[in-house]
Amino acid sequence: MDRRSFIGAGIVAGGMAAGGMPRVAGAAAAPDLGFPKDFVWGCATASYQIEGAVKADGRGPTIWDTFSHTPGKTANGDTGDVACDSYHRYAEDIGLLKNLGVKAYRMSIAWSRIFPEGRGQPNQKGIDYYNRVIDGLLAAGIAPYVTMFHWDLPQALPGEWRNRDTAKAFADYAGFMAGKLSDRVHRFMTVNELRCFTDLGHMQGIHAPGLQLPAAEVNQVRHHGVLAHGLGVQAIRAHARAGTEVGIADNTSIFVPAIETPEHIAAAKKAMRDENAMFLTAIMEGAYPPEYLAAAGAAAPKVQAGDMAAIGSPLDFVALNIYTPTFVKADPSAPRGYTPLPHLPQSPRMASPWLYVGPEAAYWGVRAVSELWKPKSLFISENGTSADDVLNAAGLDDDADRIMYLRNYLGQFRRATAEGFPLHGYFLWSLMDNFEWADGYTKRFGIHYVDFATQKRTPKLSAQWYKELIRRNALV
Ligand code: GBH
């Protein structure tokens, strides 16, 4: 059956179980809410957002230590100095994961715990910490999925991402860690969210290192970001055991067709490719699209021989962080044939002002990436929401709005799996409330509430909901 008749059959028959097996008798009229067998359910976190212990065991300072300690850069002057103190409480946090029944945990490694100055002599105490975490996860039956870089760049690297050498230093570090961990870790992600650590840090200046550079320098930083990814893929493959899978966790900008007709769908796919030209498009195609280079003109990135081949290194999987959509329509009068549509002042959004609710981003993100570039495999490396969490008089966090958000997005991910797109797993952001970058501790994304004064973790209602979803392997 091709994809289209498969969907049609599902509708006519009142739902097909994932994999095309007819549903059990008695449930024939109910919509099918199941996910594929062996779908990987997980939670995600990142080192600087949860670990704290910024001076422990030889960890070197990072650009986020510097930035968060600079007055006016984060809400309330919040820093990651303590965060969730997961550096010391990791065993408890593994317990939270185990209680949920997740099969996988996406975590990141703090580069400056391994190489305090970004390069040079490795710090065994930092390696030991990740060995403890990974061994603890495996003992709990949880597979670690490891991101090598989630924004906490060692401060000692001169010129940070403005310096091309940083991409090489990243590859050396990533290869080194893959050599240490690939006996137990089978999937690595190079970097998290290219657009965030390049543009937010170097164009808008709202993330570390807080720069507002001219276009040519921003494009060069972006180039160093994708180059780091590509050299990192090669280094991980060179040092990891055979069979290790390598991918990226990217926040590709996602365009949702305003109307599901062929012309608007084509417009959305074109927008996905064009608007991500300097990031995922370059990685999946091993080239910058000529239209991107032409539009950048004199500000186009300076590319050296061999760069694009490295950037285009084949991946075992693509992982997407999916939060918010841009709706788009076909528009023959627009230069590129499409027009992105603005959100309205009253468009629904969650506690973070940028977090517009658009569950269709889940389906269209997976579908467009699948159809444009045919990756072997896809994961959702992050999806989740902030909410105005408060503990009630009973000490509980009944976050029904987070459940609403997650249920809607997961319904759209389920549509993608039911239609046969190769989506194999989902990591909820986040296991627990944590340091939300420039928003400090004012925005909570966890399914466990963290009291930052006492470090007490309390499962929210959404944790119970996620646990039940995992138990049934179906939307609840
Ligand atoms: C991801 O970022 C990150 O990977 C993760 O670390 C983070 O905690 C999580 O999602 C939740 O944010 O309106 O100009 O202030 C998502 C990307 C980065 C998007 C910050 C919004 C602020 C935009 N987000 N950004 S602005």
46 lines ligand 1 (CB under 6 A): yes
4 within a domain of the structure (yes/no): no
User: Which ranges of 84-214 does DSSP label H, i.e. alpha helix?
Assistant: 86-100, 111-114, 124-139, 165-181, 194-195, 201-202
User: Is residue 28 one of the residues assigned to a domain?
Assistant: no
At a CB cut-off of 8 Å and minimum separation 6, what does 223 contact?
278, 301, 302, 303, 307
Confidence of residue 286 (pLDDT cuts 50, 70, 90): very high
User: Is the Cβ atom of 439 under 6 angstroms away from ligand 1?
Assistant: no
Helices 124-139 and 86-100 sit at what angle, rounded to 10 degrees? 20
Q: Is 275 a catalytic residue?
A: no
Expressed as residue numbers, the domain containing 365 is 38-472
**Tens digits of per-residue pLDDT, 26-52?**
444 456 899 999 999 999 999 999 999
In the annotation, is 382 catalytic? yes
On whether residue 453 sits in a domain, the answer given is yes
pLDDT value, residue 32: 80
Ligand 1 centroid vs 341 CA: distance in angstroms? 21
The Cα 449–Cα 183 span in angstroms is 33
Q: Is 374 helix (H, G, I), strand (E, B) or coil?
A: coil
**DSSP per-residue codes, 47-61:** HHHH---TTGGGPPP
For the cut 80, the answer to whether the pLDDT of residue 303 exceeds it is yes
**173's tokens:** 């570090």
Residues 403, 460: contact at Cβ < 8 Å?
A: no
In ligand 1, the atom with minimum distance to the C-alpha of 353 is: 13
Residue 12 inside a domain? The answer is: no
- β-sheet bridge partners, residue 256: 327
- Ligand 1 atom closest to 439 (CA): 15
Q: Which CATH number is 143's domain given? A: 3.20.20.80
AA letter at 426: Y
268: closest CA among 276, 278, 258? 258
Full 3-state SS string of 180-247: HHCCCCCEEEEEECHHHHHHHHHCCCCCCCCCCCCHHHHHHHHHHHHHHHHHHHHHHHHHCCCCCEEE
Tally of domains within the chain: 1
Residue 467: pLDDT band with limits 50, 70, 90: very high
Protein residue with least CA distance to atom 24, ligand 1: 196
Domain assignment present for residue 384? The answer is yes
Per the model's pLDDT, the better-predicted residue between 16 and 402 turns out to be 402
Q: At what angle do helices 360-373 and 262-275 cross, to 10 degrees?
A: 80
Q: From the candidates 51, 160, 193, 245, which is the catalytic residue?
A: 193
Q: Is the distance from the beta carbon of residue 276 to the nearest atom of ligand 1 less than 6 Å?
A: no
The one-character DSSP state at 474 is B
Residue 363 falls inside a structural domain: yes
Q: Whose CA is nearest to atom 20 of ligand 1?
A: 196
Whole-Å CA distances, 310 to 227, 230, 305, 460: 7, 5, 10, 43
Tokens matching residue 290: 């000529």
Q: Return the residue whose CA atom lies nearest to atom 18 of ligand 1.
A: 196
pLDDT per residue over 173-225, tens digit each? 999 999 999 999 999 999 999 999 999 999 999 999 999 999 999 999 999 99
Rounded CA-CA distance 430/410 in Å is: 15
Task: Assess whether pLDDT exceeds 60 at residue 10.
Answer: no
Residue 6 in any domain: the answer is no
> Is it the case that residue 24 has pLDDT exceeding 80?
no
Say if 335 falls within a structural domain. Answer: yes
Give strand pairing partners of 108: 147
CA of 251 to the centre of ligand 1 (A): 9
Q: What percent of the chain is predicted at pLDDT more than 90?
A: 93
Return the pLDDT at 31.
Answer: 64
